[in-house]
Structure 1
């Protein structure tokens, strides 16, 4: 940060309909990991990209994520009793983009199914196979709380991240 940037006044605003883009940009200043959430559905395996993921508790093992109510995939994930959250490696950016465009992108990507029929993607940094325990209102999203039934610690590679509206990588040293 330059000396001039240090003394620039912050852009203060009140969130509302006319500042939605500014609020989104402010949220985008928080770098997040990138995940793909998968679930079984009547139409076959479905997947959605999500950066609204966080661990909640070690005992019991709980995680949370938040699908957008306006997503065409919302109904699949709102109803899914079982799902998996895959923490993406930096070299999985093409799969991430394909999944962002197409809910059924996994049909063209190698995967296996667990005992509950949840699609599992290989090559991730970590995977959490979950059972939904609660859904809570969260504005234009819902908060899905899941109990981690099984976890996989994948390879020790670089992480795919999302920052300022773009996918990036965090390189390990």
Structure 2
């Protein structure tokens, strides 16, 4: 089998536009968030979604141990939030959020916030795929989504 050039692989996939999410949990009553664009729907019945995180992520163990999480679908006006949570040491001090009844951080002014329960974890290459069951949805469909394309925000 031919070996794939990693640079070409990343460049090729960067041409696929995606929405941008922040996946958030509370770990020991401390909020943790990661910018993720690998989010997608998986099943309607039951309502399942999936996303993946790098096995090298500084917070991977906290995400693997949690039961509930939130998926915050960012609006075009939330580019700074995406950049913040893409960093290793993300900060919550300037982020407007509430804790839900499931104790998941819900970022305000997003297009959608989905509260989920982890259903299954699947190791895959250098990532872990999280399959989650959607429990609750909040929507604000009047907003425009933040899009990531060609290594830039649109």
TM-score (norm 1): 0.83
Q: CA deviation at 1:106?
A: 2.0
Q: How does 1:13-162 map to 2 (within 5 A)?
A: 14-16=2-4, 19-42=5-28, 44-101=30-87, 103-162=89-148
Q: CA deviation at 1:75?
A: 1.5
Q: CA deviation at 1:57?
A: 1.2
Would the aligned equivalents of 1:34 and 1:87 in 2 still touch at CA under 8 Å?
yes
**Greater strand content:** 2
Q: 2:149 aligns with which of 163, 169, 172?
A: 163
Q: CA deviation at 1:15?
A: 4.1
Moved more, 19-28 or 30-39: 19-28
Q: Which runs of 5+ in 1 are unaligned?
A: 1-13, 169-173
Runs of 4+ in 1 over 6 A off after TM superposition: none
**Greater helix content:** 1
Task: Give the root-mean-square deviation of aligned CA atoms.
Answer: 1.5
Q: Which runs of 5+ in 2 are unaligned?
A: none
Q: CA deviation at 1:103?
A: 4.6
Would the aligned equivalents of 1:45 and 1:107 in 2 still touch at CA under 8 Å?
no
